[in-house]
A and B are shown apart, each in its own frame.
Chain A
């Protein structure tokens, strides 16, 4: 399906450090886990086994949806270091 290909076509320059940090302690008290479905790049996933949020910063489109839907203050949210992160070509 198209959705499987969607994420493959965006270009990134990936920094070695994550620009967003997730405070798992804050996530533990969250009932809606809105980040896990709201993120347009599917960067957040709930790991049932480990009881934590798995976060993949490399695919982040830097839109800020997660920052707005998180009401637990769990995110230390920054843009990537200058020149890194997503680079749109045409959009």
Chain B
């Protein structure tokens, strides 16, 4: 290897949405970028639920981004199910506004999308090196000055290292930016992809052309904190479940057993009828919310995307890829400034945190700070879905028994199951995290 290959302005570790966005931006600004990816190709190790929400930075990276990017369907219809083994109550939201481009959310395949985005970074001048696992950071005192890779004479030097190495970020740990994870901060997502024809999917979800649908399910995880999901792509449907690791550990149940139960639930089974299984995957996701975010910078290094735990759910929104791309972009802008000043100290790189705090990335995570705790309320995942379905069942059941008003039905359903004061406490907690 020639000497010039070993010295770079910036080394970006991980060619996912955060890393590739950052590499693309910095290459556009004329910096000499090395983008490292441990997979055979970018995206080979990456998995997500299924939808990327629209976010403004993509058009700064590539004009008409969504005309060029490989996506599957644009989401026009979102359904939330509260489900038990016997019955399901759902709420569907759809709007004409979803049909205006650029769309509000896109389903896509990560191995395809991530590959494309990394290629765009390459076209802009970044050097992409795949099949390359970063082993450690190179440090001179406290300053990060490069990385070591799993090859002979594998020292690669740079003024700045940008760690986009995913949810487990060993680099953030090695730099002392994060503490050990606890199982309560993480969830595992498992999913399978099923093939159907485009027409079958459109019929089953009541969609036209490239319109897409998403479904979230609460109550399908045997009381384990988590939920089920369905996303539609052009000729495939994704079905999967997410499980908090501390709750999974206590349960003694295997994720794939829960998955099998999930796809056997009548509404899910009907969507998947006759579909051919294509691929199975699993990945962790950060579930700790705002309080889980590590220190985002140190001398000579920044952290972005899942590696910085920039990912959240509040029960209604599930966001990650948009936060990854935006944080990668803002990290890139910070590094470009640092090169103009010739200063790579943490004092200069602190700008990254300021930029994130001003953007929707940390503002959204901050506003739903309490939602992470709310999503650790066990009753949301078994008792409440059962309660709602019991009430609905009684509202609609016709058998000549005199009817009762809803509050009476609710109170009778609660009796012996959940103390009313717990319900009030949960409502207040949920309200504070989501509603006011």
* Neighbour of B256 across the interface among A3, A32, A82, A87, CB < 8 A: A3
Q: Is A61's CB within 8 Å of the partner chain B?
A: yes
* Neighbour of B109 across the interface among A7, A68, A86, A91, CB < 8 A: A91
Complex contact B278–A79 (CB within 8 A) = no
Complex contact B46–A88 (CB within 8 A) = yes
Residues of B within 8 A of A (CB): 38-41, 43-47, 109-112, 130-133, 149-150, 167-168, 181, 183, 186, 188, 190-193, 236, 238, 245, 248-249, 252-257, 259-260, 263, 277-284
Complex contact A38–B181 (CB within 8 A) = no
Given contacts A41-B282, A62-B45, contact A91 B133 (CB under 8 A): no
Measured between beta carbons, the chain A residues less than 8 angstroms from B131 are 82-84
Given contacts A2-B263, A9-B279, A82-B133, contact A90 B193 (CB under 8 A): yes
Rounded to whole angstroms, the CA-CA distance of A32 and B246 in the bound complex is: 12
Q: Is A65's CB within 8 Å of the partner chain B?
A: yes
Measured between beta carbons, the chain B residues less than 8 angstroms from A1 are 260
Complex contact A6–B192 (CB within 8 A) = yes
Complex contact A68–B38 (CB within 8 A) = no
Q: Is A67's CB within 8 Å of the partner chain B?
A: yes
Measured between beta carbons, the chain A residues less than 8 angstroms from B39 are 83, 87
Measured between beta carbons, the chain B residues less than 8 angstroms from A38 are 188, 245, 248-249, 254-255
Given contacts A82-B38, A88-B46, contact A68 B280 (CB under 8 A): no
Nearest A residue to B44, CB-CB = A87
Measured between beta carbons, the chain B residues less than 8 angstroms from A34 are 248-249
Q: Is A23's CB within 8 Å of the partner chain B?
A: no
| SS of B interface (majority) | mixed
Nearest A residue to B188, CB-CB = A65
Complex contact A65–B40 (CB within 8 A) = no
Complex contact B190–A40 (CB within 8 A) = yes
Complex contact A90–B109 (CB within 8 A) = yes
Complex contact B150–A81 (CB within 8 A) = yes
Given contacts A40-B282, A88-B43, contact A3 B245 (CB under 8 A): no
Most A Cβ at <10 Å: residue of B41, B130, B183: B183
User: Can you name 15 extra interface pairs (CB under 8 A) apart from A69-B245, A82-B149?
Assistant: A2-B277, A6-B280, A9-B279, A9-B280, A10-B280, A38-B254, A42-B254, A61-B282, A63-B188, A79-B38, A79-B133, A82-B38, A88-B46, A90-B279, A91-B47
Measured between beta carbons, the chain B residues less than 8 angstroms from A64 are 167-168, 186, 284
Complex contact B44–A68 (CB within 8 A) = no
Complex contact A68–B279 (CB within 8 A) = no
Rounded to whole angstroms, the CA-CA distance of A41 and B245 in the bound complex is: 15
Measured between beta carbons, the chain A residues less than 8 angstroms from B245 are 38, 65, 68-69
